[in-house]
Amino acid sequence: MNKINPLFDAVSEIDDKTVADFIPKYKTKPRKALKIAVITVAAALLLGTTAAATTLGDNPIVKINNNQVVPLHSSYVDENGWTVETTAVRLPFDTTCYTPVGEVRAVFDSELHEDGIYDELGVRLDDVSNGINFYINAEKNGEIPMTLMHGCYYDNYHQHETITPEGEIIIEFWQDPIQALESANRESMTVDEKLEEWRRYGNDFLEYGGFEHPSMRELYESGSGVSVGSADVHKFESTPSEAMKLYGYAPVSMDGCSEKAGMTAVMYKGTDNDTGEYTIFQQMFVYTLVDEQSGAEIVFTVWRSAENKDTYTDHFDFEYEYIQLNTGTQARLHQSADNSYILEFEKDGAAYGLQLGRERNLAESILEKMELL
Amino acid sequence: MEDEKITELLTNRDQSGLAALKAKYERLILKVCRGFLRSPEDAEECANDTLLAVWERIPPDRPDNLTAYICKIARRKTIDKLRYNTAAMRSTELMTELDECLPSGYSTEDEAEKAELSAALNEWLRSLDERHRKLFTLRYFYMQSAKDAAKACSMTPTAATTALARLRGSLKKYLVERGLFYE
């Protein structure tokens, strides 16, 4: 029997207040409705139709390329009698969107999703008394202030984003009735107040996020610090192998699988903590492998962060992380709250992640082929 | 349904209380269990065990904080399952991390010693600011991934990993100073 660290038992006795204060966010609605919503929206887009001018409350939600398309809004009563609202939106990259707060461009920010995937658009919902406003946290010049990245919390909505190899983002969000109830009495905030809140989060980020360049620190301590970050998105129509060569990497391959053309690469940028330079500190690649036997398409999300930004270029080598896993590198198969399976491991002080999809047998098949099981 | 009402129903052995408990807390319980258990079936089993345990313990228990009460039971059930199931542990990473503070082989068989360790841990936690207390609790009580905990604490994963390492170092130092662990 494995010996359990006695601290685990001790941690079980953490006082009630601490336990109750820091409950992790969890989902309370079934996923089924979300999938239906996404499929419906996707179908509407594929057919070239303009989706119903759906609004939440009286506000127009999002226009993409002058066509009002989404979000698709649905509502149902769950088994407990709660009215659950679900919405989904599918956005191409670099798209001009017209929102209640003006014209913005849809780009990534690098907020970490609970799945462990850096794939989140700066999109948020704001619960206001007369309905729900939906808008995108991006500046018109296409760069997102870092301060906006870490304050995008939703009083009563959960959100999930998926990036596709074709370079689209599927955003799903839904109301959590319990949290909605709990937050019903919260004071409404204006956009300006929300921005101020984000600035505060941004300052916290300066303290904890590794952007500790003296000038940033000075700004932080002066109370006006803003560290700017952004993400560049590159879409490729070539195969992942060909596309990744441009970044100097070897492609990820898997026995019995072929590559499907098309890849999206995301370069996350921020201020280097040592040099103060604005540089890439994180990369993500999304592409598809096809199981030749079954024809099943496996979407891989591979991301890469560097602990030491000065030497990150030495770290960006995807070629052999699987071999490293095989030779004892600590790896973890993580099932996220939305049932995505994610393999996480570290190498040379940098964190890697592989999203293996939501089907358990598919994830296991992948790991078997990688000889990890 | 309000927690007080659920507790009242459970105290009166009303099975609708169990149904309400399940409706309100099952997903949270699963979240706790899945933090540690790789197998969804194991997590489901632990969640069911947790619900059953709550049903069996109330009464005589009358928890002031039902949420914390349930989470603690879920966590204990999860650890029990880990002890039982040695084959498929997702916990290696967490184990390794906490081993930095107190080795797994370190014995605390004595109940008084266990209680002292718990008390020391709580005291140490109270000395932390809220963000670090939250980070530690999410990571080591709720067994969230470092990335999930990072997001919840508005931190980058790199910063969270660094902060967690510092917290483990701090805890180890604290335990050594309290004479609970000798290097």
Residue A175 and residue A285 in one domain: no
Out of B68, B90, B156, closest to residue A209 by CB? B156
Higher pLDDT, A264 or A26: A264
Q: What percent of chain A has pLDDT over 70?
A: 14
- pLDDT (0 to 100) of residue A224: 28
Out of B104, B152, B153, closest to residue A4 by CB? B104
Pairing of strands A131-136, A59-60: unpaired
Q: Do B90 and A25 touch (CB under 8 A)?
A: no
- pLDDT (0 to 100) of residue B48: 85
Cα–Cα distance, A154 to A175 (Å, whole number): 10
Q: Is B127 on the interface with A (CB under 8 A)?
A: no
- A193, part of any domain: no
Q: Do B144 and A24 touch (CB under 8 A)?
A: yes
Q: Residue A147 in contact with residue A227, Cβ under 8 Å?
A: yes
Q: Do B71 and A25 touch (CB under 8 A)?
A: no
- Span B3-84 CATH architecture: Orthogonal Bundle (1.10)
Residue A87 and residue A155 in one domain: yes
Tokens of B41: 């079936």
Contacts of B33 in chain A (CB under 8 A): none
Cα–Cα distance, A36 to A159 (Å, whole number): 16
Q: Do A8 and B98 touch (CB under 8 A)?
A: yes
Residue A346 and residue A260 in one domain: yes
Residue A68 and residue A165 in one domain: yes
Q: Do A13 and B121 touch (CB under 8 A)?
A: yes
Report which listed range, A13-17, A148-152, A279-283, is most confident.
A13-17
Q: Is A44 on the interface with B (CB under 8 A)?
A: no
Q: Do A111 and B76 touch (CB under 8 A)?
A: no
- Round to the nearest angstrom and report the end-to-end CA distance of chain A: 21
Out of A4, A205, A208, closest to residue B83 by CB? A4
> Does residue A229 register a pLDDT over 50?
no
> Does residue A331 register a pLDDT over 50?
yes
- A210, part of any domain: no
Residue A309 and residue A179 in one domain: no
- A259, part of any domain: yes
Residue A156 and residue A283 in one domain: no
Residue A252 and residue A168 in one domain: no
- pLDDT (0 to 100) of residue A153: 27
Cα–Cα distance, A43 to A51 (Å, whole number): 10
Asked which of A188, A211, A241 is the last residue of a domain, the reply is A188
CA dihedral B116, B118, B119, B121 (to 10 degrees): 120
> Does residue A323 register a pLDDT over 60?
no
Query: Shortest Cα distance from B158 to chain A (angstroms)?
Result: 7
> Does residue A85 register a pLDDT over 50?
no
Tens of pLDDT, residues A172-190: 444 433 333 333 333 344 4
* Chain region(s) in chain B for CATH 1.10.10.10: 93-177
Residue A265 and residue A156 in one domain: no
Average pLDDT of the residues in A214-242: 53
* Phi, psi angle pair for A98, to nearest 5°: -110, 120
> Does residue A342 register a pLDDT over 70?
no
**Nearest residue of B to residue A148, measured between CA atoms:** B154
- pLDDT (0 to 100) of residue B38: 63
Out of B67, B83, B154, closest to residue A1 by CB? B83
Residue A31 and residue A135 in one domain: yes
- A130, part of any domain: yes
- A196, part of any domain: no
Spell out the CATH class of B93-177.
Answer: mainly alpha
Higher pLDDT, A274 or A125: A274
Contacts of A80 in chain B (CB under 8 A): 23
- pLDDT (0 to 100) of residue B105: 56
- pLDDT (0 to 100) of residue B118: 84
For A82-133, the DSSP string reads -EEEEEEEEEETTEEEEETTEEEEE-B--PPPTTS----BSEEEEEETTEEE
Q: Residue B163 in contact with residue B181, Cβ under 8 Å?
A: no
Residue A176 and residue A295 in one domain: no
Average pLDDT of the residues in A159-166: 50
Residue ranges making up the domain that contains A353: 230-369
- pLDDT (0 to 100) of residue A277: 61
The pTM score is 0.38
pLDDT-derived band at A18, boundaries 50, 70, 90: confident
- A202, part of any domain: no
Higher pLDDT, A113 or A192: A192
Each residue's pLDDT expressed in tens, for chain B with a length of 183 residues: 778 888 888 888 888 888 888 878 887 888 788 776 766 777 888 888 888 888 888 888 888 888 888 888 888 888 777 766 654 444 456 666 776 676 655 555 566 777 888 888 889 988 888 888 888 888 888 877 777 787 777 676 667 777 787 788 888 888 888 877 665
Cα–Cα distance, A309 to A316 (Å, whole number): 11
**Nearest residue of A to residue B31, measured between CA atoms:** A26
pLDDT-derived band at A130, boundaries 50, 70, 90: very low
Out of A19, A337, A344, closest to residue B31 by CB? A337
Residue A171 and residue A284 in one domain: no
* Chain region(s) in chain B for CATH 1.10.1740.10: 3-84
- A156, part of any domain: yes
> Does residue A296 register a pLDDT over 50?
yes
Residue A31 and residue A178 in one domain: yes
Q: Residue B79 in contact with residue B31, Cβ under 8 Å?
A: no
Instruction: Count how many domains chain A has.
Output: 2
> Does residue A152 register a pLDDT over 60?
no
Which of A2, A8, A179, A361 should we substitute to test contact with B (largest number of B Cβ atoms within 10 Å)?
A8
Asked which of A155, A188, A221 is the last residue of a domain, the reply is A188
- A335, part of any domain: yes
Nearest to A91 by CA among A37, A144, A169: A169
Q: Is A337 on the interface with B (CB under 8 A)?
A: yes
- Residue A320's CB: how many other CB atoms inside 10 A? 12
